[in-house]
Amino acid sequence: MAGPSDQPRLASLAVAGRFEKRLHEGPPIVADGGMGALLTAAVPRLRTPEEANLRAPDAVVSLHVSFINAGAELIETNTFGANRRKLSSHFLEEELERINSLGVKLARDAREVAGRDVFVAGAIGPIGEATASRLRHELFAEQASILEGRGADLFMLETFYDLDELVDAIAAVRGISALPIVALLTFDEGAETLAGVTAREAADRLAGLDVAAIGANHGAGLLTALNALEQMRTDGIPLAALPNIGLASLAGGRVIYPHATPEYFAEFAAHARDLGARLIGGCCGTTPAEIAAIRAAIDEGRQARAPLEVSERELHVALGEEQRETELARALREGEFVLSVQLDPPLGGSSRGLLELTQTLEASGRVRFVDINDNATARAGMSSLMVSAAIERATGVETIPHVTTRDWSILGLESILLGAHAEGVRNVLAITGDPPEVGDYPGSRGVYEIDAIGLTRLISSLNRAEDYNGRPIDAPTSFFVGVAVNPTADDLELEADRFRQKVEAGAKFAMTQIVFDLDVLERFAELVGGWPIPVLAGIFPLTSHRLALRLHNEVPGIVVPQPLQDALEEAGPRAAEVGMAHARALYEHARERCAGAYVVAPFRRPATVLELLA
């Protein structure tokens, strides 16, 4: 016989059975709308919407009641981002149990206040960052256990971008609970996930798992969800559609959603029902007004007033000339010694001086390549990619622009790289970049969504006609990607490991940190088992003892040997001659021991680099 402690669980199982019966027998269940966006707008200074369970419980209950009064028969707990990993990013991990427990309690309180027998779904979202499968299971199971223990009737696993992560979440929840699971993925306009998994492929995989319903939520709007549903139709598995109201925008620091009319939502509900949706609601931006429109459409048996037309995206084949080999790639492939001169982009709005300098270097007959710094030492200058395009267009000299991940999101990197490719830039040196703290912008923060390894992977993906997440782009790029390597790093084992990862990610050549002793290259080569790709040594003509001290003591990764420091100090006013002689000797040695070299043009006197090459 069941004891008192078993009564809540037995009651939940009874409700769960009613929920699954309703899914199969109809009519469609109307779900609620976007809790998180509305709570963030209503409660000031929330670190995350789930914090409202602690700080503003009345607001949470009130919003639940508003959705119930609008006609929602299923409300979700305010726990979408309440897994331990996500809460820890807001310093709320110690409140994990309270936030999830209160999330269920407040939803059940709202059900009692409204006096309607609605379903309470325990909301669980993705982890929010790359995590090992084993850890995913632990995090999802931990949250699900609390939600079921407090009386959730079912689980909504929603807004998953990664099918593998959703599969892990289903397995974790099913490992601790028998309650129904609704599994929802987020798709783009082409009905694909960020990783390029189509809605049909997702449905085929999810159909073999123990879930009550599958479908689409969040995403780019109502038509996107309908496009996904059209592909996800399978025999016997109910579908669910809970889309965003549309694309969000920013205004005055607030996230603003478009004002879709109730009629538009009613038409969506009719189409979703006809496609097999048995759970219909909304996500970000949807308010009780839109849920009321869905409710009315279902109750009235509304028929869709316009046919649903889904157009497939057309992919374009790249033009053959865009896949040309760069002169740098050809020279390295054929074993020619490569020389590049490293230049700083202008700090102002004119590139005339840099173009004239490049023309001077090219006219010497000794320089075929220039590499362009990208906001070196975190000091803002003209975009390296835009400067490179201007140089190639005006002078014909091939460029090697440095591209840092410090200043761009992944989206921004893809965008600027595609634009540079269209302008003819092909060589790219992928670097992580100096932190903003070392430059002119103290207190600012770098982006660093990916590092140089991730940027190399991104460029390799673009060359395969895929974006960072593996989705097809209209035409492939033909970048020749290089990476930085520091043979004088403090932690050589770490540097060696990162270099190997860069090569695995697709690097075709490397440029070293500035070195003043080529023996360090040979020692590093032994550490990595030989150079797997061509390497260009970095050479810097020192002009003073003071500059040597600064580089050695203040610039990470640069080592100026003590004998050279002593020689510069003893030379006094002739230090520049000593520095140039040392750089010239290094250059001659590099011609025998490296695939190439790049020479840093002296500050304020960049044309004097030609003296080194004389």
Distance CA 610, CA 614 (A): 6
pLDDT tens, 495-549?
999 999 999 999 999 999 999 999 999 999 999 999 999 999 999 999 999 889 9
Domain stops at, among 257, 280, 299: 299
Whether 309 maps to a domain, the answer reads no
**What values do phi and psi take at 495, rounded to 5?**
-60, -40
Residues 290 and 373 in one domain: no
Whether 549 maps to a domain, the answer reads no
Whether 67 maps to a domain, the answer reads yes
Residues 398 and 278 in one domain: no
Residue 335 near residue 306 (C-beta atoms within 8 A): no
Domain stops at, among 246, 280, 299: 299
Whether 576 maps to a domain, the answer reads no
Residue 399 near residue 391 (C-beta atoms within 8 A): yes
Residues 283 and 390 in one domain: no
pLDDT, mean of residues 177-189: 92
Residues 291 and 338 in one domain: no
184 three-class SS:
strand
Residue 244 near residue 219 (C-beta atoms within 8 A): yes
Sheet containing 154-160: give its strands across. 29-30, 277-280, 239-243, 213-218, 181-185, 154-160, 119-124, 74-76
pLDDT tens, 49-83?
999 999 999 999 999 999 999 999 999 999 999 99
HSE-CB of 429 using CA atoms within 13 angstroms: 25
Residues 84 and 155 in one domain: yes
Radius of gyration of the chain (CA): 30
Output the CA angle 461-463-465, nearest 5 degrees.
75
Residues 263 and 346 in one domain: no
Residue 460 near residue 503 (C-beta atoms within 8 A): no
161 three-class SS:
coil
Residues 365 and 226 in one domain: no
How far are the Cα atoms of 189, 255, 423 from residue 465, in angstroms, in the given order? Answer: 18, 32, 17
Distance CA 497, CA 514 (A): 20
Distance CA 590, CA 416 (A): 34
Q: Which residue type, as a one-letter code, is found at position 564?
A: L
Q: Which residue has the tokens 């990764």?
A: 557
Whether 306 maps to a domain, the answer reads no
- Percent of all residues in the chain with a pLDDT value above 70, rounded to a whole number: 91
Whether 305 maps to a domain, the answer reads no
Q: In CATH, what number is assigned to the domain containing residue 155?
A: 3.20.20.330
pLDDT tens, 376-408?
776 788 999 999 999 999 999 999 999 999 989
Q: In CATH, what number is assigned to the domain containing residue 364?
A: 3.20.20.220
Global pTM value: 0.66
**Burial status of residue 568 (CB atoms within 10 A of its CB: 0-12, 13-18, 19 or more):** buried
Task: List the domain range (segments joined by +) for residue 452.
Answer: 326-542+595-613
Name the token pair of 552: 């050695």
Residue 540 near residue 583 (C-beta atoms within 8 A): yes
Name the token pair of 212: 């009550």
Which pLDDT band, with edges at 50, 70 and 90, does 284 fall under? Answer: confident
Whether 307 maps to a domain, the answer reads no
Residues 257 and 346 in one domain: no
pLDDT of amino acid 383: 93
Distance CA 160, CA 193 (A): 9
Count of domains observed in the chain? 2
Residues 295 and 352 in one domain: no
Residues 239 and 373 in one domain: no
Residues 340 and 282 in one domain: no
Whether 547 maps to a domain, the answer reads no
Cis link prior to 27 (omega < 30° from 0)?
A: yes
